[in-house]
Amino acid sequence: MVRCVLFAEVPGFYAAVARADDPALAGRPVIVGGDPRKRGRVQSATLDAFAAGVELDMPILEALRHCPLARAVRTDMPRVREVSRRLFASLRGVEGHLETFGLSACYADVTARHEEAEALAQRAMDVVDATLGLPLRVGIASGKFLARLAAEEVSGERGVVRVAPGSEQGFLDPLPIERLDGVGRKTAASLAAMGARTIADVRALGRERLQAEFGPNGLRVHACACGGFEEPVRAARHPKSLSRESTLRGESSDVAVFAEVLAGLAQQLEEELGRQGLVAGRVAVKVRFADHGTTTRSATLPKPTASAAAFHAAGSRLLERTQAGARPVRGLGLQLALLAPAGEADRQLDLFPPD
């Protein structure tokens, strides 16, 4: 049976998050990056901004000259990470086994369900739109590389493109060489000097010539050009860990403040575990001191749980093993590990003996 791989991504993720969070940005180009007054650069943008000439890593001020109607927004990494976690939780509700790819994309091997691949893609788009208000584009093909290229061929921010079995070479051949894995600016310039402009041209150069010119990377480029460089999808049913952090309002040595912050973080983690149907077997506390030092302490729980009270209690005990209070604290974090589906936790108890 021919493999069937699905690749799903939110295009221009940081910018899409900013637009979803602010109704005033609906329908307006958005550019996300650093402070323009400090020579900040573009980290993300909506597709309409890219169409106007904006490029990644371009100075924000230059990007605004290319797209004067755009709104420049500062990067908010805590918010981006939170939405990323929710995105993958939503997608796992459609297809449980995912290989994440960065903060905003993932692969799924749906070979056993290839006949319903388009239906799965549609469900994924609908769920992400309903829960997060974000667009999703999906590519379906016989491998990861082809599926990712297919997603990039979606017209607009939302939709599905499938490369049918047997049509892979026809899909690849007209695409520009820059779309190949392993082809950066330097390699693209070298290929252009060899007369290659499209993937078909690269394939025509032959495996031996590409290897002689570029070494092992030439073999990779040739395999991609032939649609044959395909790695397995390394899927996981759930994340390996979950964490939440909080920056205090000014530095503090007040133990009561620490307890309140930990309680809030524990509650957030309980809610996230509930959304994903998971329990945790290990807790860690991270302390950021006002003098920029950082300390982490961790412990295994008596048994896996999704209880905020248990996380708070364990976190408080771990905090006592640090210098928090004796040294002013700037921020606290709480991390959960040894995650497992709630229904399987009892079968894993013996694998993780307590400290």
How confident is the model over 24-77, as pLDDT tens digits? 998 899 999 988 888 899 999 999 999 999 999 999 999 999 999 999 999 998
In this prediction, residue 343 has a pLDDT band, given cuts at 50, 70 and 90, of low
Predicted pLDDT of residue 347: 47
Predicted pLDDT of residue 278: 86
Lowest mean pLDDT among 157-161, 198-202, 336-340: 336-340
Span 261-286, average pLDDT: 90
Predicted pLDDT of residue 89: 86
Predicted pLDDT of residue 229: 64
Q: What is the pLDDT of residues 75-86, one digit of tens each?
A: 998 899 889 988
Structure-block tokens of residue 100: 């994440």
Lowest mean pLDDT among 15-19, 153-157, 234-238: 234-238
Kindly state the percentage of the chain with pLDDT values over 70.
96
pTM over 0.85: no
Q: Residue 109: pLDDT above 70?
A: yes
Identify whether the C-beta of residue 8 lies closer than 8 Å to the C-beta of residue 135.
no
Partners of residue 279 on adjacent β-strands: 340
Of 76, 101, 100, nearest in space to 15 by CA? 76
Q: What is the pLDDT of residues 230-242, one digit of tens each?
A: 788 887 777 788 8
Q: Which residue has the tokens 């509650």?
A: 267
Structure-block tokens of residue 126: 């609908």
- Nearest 5°: phi and psi at 221? -60, -45
Q: Residue 317: pLDDT above 60?
A: yes
In this prediction, residue 355 has a pLDDT band, given cuts at 50, 70 and 90, of very low
Identify whether the C-beta of residue 15 lies closer than 8 Å to the C-beta of residue 46.
yes
Identify whether the C-beta of residue 66 lies closer than 8 Å to the C-beta of residue 53.
yes
Set out the domains of the chain in order of their start, with CATH numbers.
7-143 (3.40.1170.60), 169-225 (1.10.150.20), 242-351 (3.30.1490.100)
Span 134-154, average pLDDT: 95
Predicted pLDDT of residue 344: 60
Max CA-CA distance within the chain?
70
In this prediction, residue 353 has a pLDDT band, given cuts at 50, 70 and 90, of very low
Other Cβ atoms within 10 Å of 95 Cβ, number: 21
Predicted pLDDT of residue 46: 94
What is the average pLDDT value for the chain, to the nearest integer?
90
Per DSSP, the three-state class of 134 is coil
Predicted pLDDT of residue 349: 44
Q: Would you call 113 exposed, middle or buried from its count of C-beta atoms within 10 A (0-12, 13-18, 19+)?
A: middle
